[in-house]
Structure 1
Amino acid sequence: MRFALSREQLDFSRSIGALLAEADTPGVIRAWGSGKHETGLALWQRLADLGVTALAVPERHGGLGADAVDLVVALDALGYHAVPGPVTESVATVPALLGECGEIDQAASWLPALASGASIATLAASPEAPYALDADIADIRLCVSEGVLYEFDRPSDAPLSSVDVSRRLFAVDSLQRDEVAAVMLAIHRTLPVATLATAAQLLGAGRRLLEESVDYAKQRFQYGKAIGQYQAIKHMLADIATQLELARPLLFGAAVAIDAASPHASRDVSAARVATADAAYQAARAALQVHGAIGYTAEHDIGLWLTRVRALTSAWGTQATHRSRVLGELASSAGRAS
């Protein structure tokens, strides 16, 4: 099967990229991490005006009802620019979960608000995501425990520390909760969407790190010539480009599996997540090597992507979790075949 993005999808990706390229996202990220959310919320509203926040919301609730491939296109671009906030949760996971649970009364007000950008959502779902990201900013705060969906109060405590200063994580165990609905089957179907969204952002972040490394390798001189002219640097960056390109079809293949309601969708999404996280992590290591000492400084923008990749590789399931899922399904299939 030949798979290629449509012209509309490519144009949508370019529109998101053009918007974010002129938005000073490094400044937005730093402000968000320091607790100043005004510029970040304004950026979220601009993305909403472009239709990003409406992608996963069903049309009957004012959304676009887009498919998983469209979602990957958008989240890849958001990851490339490291947009702060609960992107996975608000743009992808919560709309998908509420869309699966048509009987939830609150969905009639929550989903249109998410689509328009008037609301931002966060979601905690142990063990994959035990903490709620940006629960102090989100006005739709949900958690899933033992197959039951709860709404919880805005936290008053300080956020937990994260390697990524823009990721503000909050424990929900001690917070007051109100039961919303039983969603055991719905959350099971929704978790691959969260994994897919995280994988798409990792691919975008990996692409950004590679491009930054290539650009810097042309500018940094040692022994009278640009370091990008040395074979060791060329080979390292070529290896990263290869890993990212090999991860890309796995990611879009997983999106197609979700759209087709494939019985192997969970396995395919986990495989894509492993590949994108590995590629992005290697891109981060290479970027640090290419940039040298300046890459370790908080003042250099490259650090914002380095820490984002490090944080996302353990968000919505660790690499070990997703590798085990792939191995388990493959072993089960082999057992049935024999």
Structure 2
Amino acid sequence: MRFALEEIHDDFAASLDSLLSKADLPAVIRAWSDGDSAPGTALWGRLAETGVNGLLIGEDDGGMGADALFLIVAAEKLGYHGVPGPVAETLAVAPALLAAVAPDRLGALSEGALATVAAPPATPYAVDADTASTVLRVDPAADGGATVALGEPGARAQSVDRARHLYQTAAGSPLGTVDSGVLAAAQDLGALATAAQLQGLGQAMLDSTVEYAKQRKQFGRAIGSQQAVKHLVAEVAVAVEMARPLLHAAAMAVRDGAPTARRDVSAAKVACGQAAYHSSRVALQVHGAIGYTQEHDLSLLLTKTRALVTAWGTPAEHRGRIMEAL
């Protein structure tokens, strides 16, 4: 099996990286955290022009009709740059659900509208329901499927990530029902997209740590020249690189409808989450306490990582699925 991405994926990633590198993401994230979503929604509009929002939406509905490999390429870059907003929900979960119950709503997503999803009990809150134009509420049905309705945002809950606004929801106008297979596929896409975001975050914090270790000096020497620091950073590099094949394998399994897809998605979510969390701890250790202050850009990635580790399935839940499959 070939795990390397094709040239078309690399070109797509490069175009996203170029766009996001010019967007002053730290300022966008801080504005989003303070309730000013205008810079963020403008950025999402530019992303929509590249096709990101409509990757998993069919061409007949204005989307790209792409597959899960393009999804992880996009989500990893959005994670690397810390793009705020309901990434997994807009790119993956909502399109999968709306395709089954309200395909007429997919066109707005392709054009740049944001969507968010609450699916209690596993996903009790709708992320950024104050900004999303489509809020979905998914509740279990007696037959093992689920009812999908428009969600009405309620009280706001606190997240460790200030740029991640969590809202309780109540079911509003019903849209339809989905069977257990559609529901599981939507949840797996959410976990896959979140794993890709974590992969990007892990790489971003690793890159930041390497650059800081080269520049920060103690006793006249860069701290990166110290063997202890080299070992810490090398361990993170290994963890991040070892997680990437699992992410690619999971995307291929989802694309191909492989019977191992759910297990593979869980393996990717665990590995990418663990690598990103390890990267965050070493980044904070090397940067020192300054890295956790709100004034330092690293803090924006640290808190997002901590929040996404448990999004669309906790590590324990995904490990349990792997154990069941084995």
Q: Shift of residue 66 of structure 1?
A: 0.4
Q: Deviations over 1:226-249 (max 9, x none)?
A: 000001110110110000110000
> What is the DSSP-based 3-state SS (H/G/I as helix, E as strand, rest coil) of the residue aligned with 1:317?
coil
The answer as to whether partners of 2:309 and 2:315 remain within 8 angstroms in 1 is yes
Task: Pick which of 54-63 and 246-255 moved more.
Answer: 54-63
Q: Deviations over 1:264-293 (max 9, x none)?
A: 111110011000000000000000001012
> What is the DSSP-based 3-state SS (H/G/I as helix, E as strand, rest coil) of the residue aligned with 2:157?
coil
> What is the DSSP-based 3-state SS (H/G/I as helix, E as strand, rest coil) of the residue aligned with 1:213?
helix
The answer as to whether partners of 2:53 and 2:110 remain within 8 angstroms in 1 is yes
**Post-superposition, which runs of at least 4 consecutive aligned residues in structure 1 deviate over 3 A?**
none
Distance 1:327 1:176, change over 3 A: closer
Match of 2:120 in 1: 126
Match of 1:313 in 2: 309
* Paired letter, 2:119: A
Q: Shift of residue 182 of structure 1?
A: 1.1
* Paired letter, 2:193: A
User: Is residue 255 of structure 2 the alignment partner of residue 259 of structure 1?
Assistant: yes
TM-score, normalised to structure 1, is 0.93
> What is the DSSP-based 3-state SS (H/G/I as helix, E as strand, rest coil) of the residue aligned with 1:197?
helix
Match of 1:82 in 2: 82
The answer as to whether partners of 2:153 and 2:168 remain within 8 angstroms in 1 is no
Q: Deviations over 1:138-182 (max 9, x none)?
A: 111101101111112344x4x21110000000011xx35222111
Match of 1:67 in 2: 67
Rounded Cα–Cα distance in structure 2 between residues aligned with 1:264 and 1:5: 20
Match of 2:213 in 1: 217
Match of 1:141 among 131, 135, 145: 135
* Paired letter, 1:82: G
Match of 2:143 in 1: none
Q: Shift of residue 136 of structure 1?
A: 1.1
User: Is residue 278 of structure 2 the alignment partner of residue 282 of structure 1?
Assistant: yes
Rounded Cα–Cα distance in structure 2 between residues aligned with 1:79 and 1:129: 20
Match of 1:113 in 2: 108
* Paired letter, 2:62: G
TM-score, normalised to structure 2, is 0.96
Rounded Cα–Cα distance in structure 1 between residues aligned with 2:295 and 2:5: 37
Q: How does 1:119-268 map to 2 (within 5 A)?
A: 119-146=113-140, 147-155=146-154, 157=155, 159-172=156-169, 175=170, 177-185=172-180, 186-268=182-264
Match of 1:53 in 2: 53
Q: Shift of residue 189 of structure 1?
A: 1.8
Rounded Cα–Cα distance in structure 2 between residues aligned with 1:162 and 1:3: 35
Match of 1:301 among 289, 297, 320: 297
Aligned pair count reads: 320
Q: Shift of residue 2 of structure 1?
A: 2.4
Rounded Cα–Cα distance in structure 1 between residues aligned with 2:276 and 2:3: 23
* Paired letter, 2:151: F
Q: Which has the higher strand share?
A: 2
Task: Pick which of 123-132 and 275-284 moved more.
Answer: 123-132
Q: How does 1:20-59 map to 2 (within 5 A)?
A: 20-59=20-59
Q: Shift of residue 4 of structure 1?
A: 2.0
Rounded Cα–Cα distance in structure 2 between residues aligned with 1:222 and 1:303: 23
> What is the DSSP-based 3-state SS (H/G/I as helix, E as strand, rest coil) of the residue aligned with 2:303?
helix
The answer as to whether partners of 2:29 and 2:163 remain within 8 angstroms in 1 is yes
What is the identity percentage for the equivalent residue pairs of Structure 1 and Structure 2? 49
Rounded Cα–Cα distance in structure 1 between residues aligned with 2:120 and 2:48: 28
RMSD: 1.0
Distance 1:37 1:204, change over 3 A: same
Q: Shift of residue 69 of structure 1?
A: 0.5
Task: Pick which of 142-151 and 203-212 moved more.
Answer: 142-151
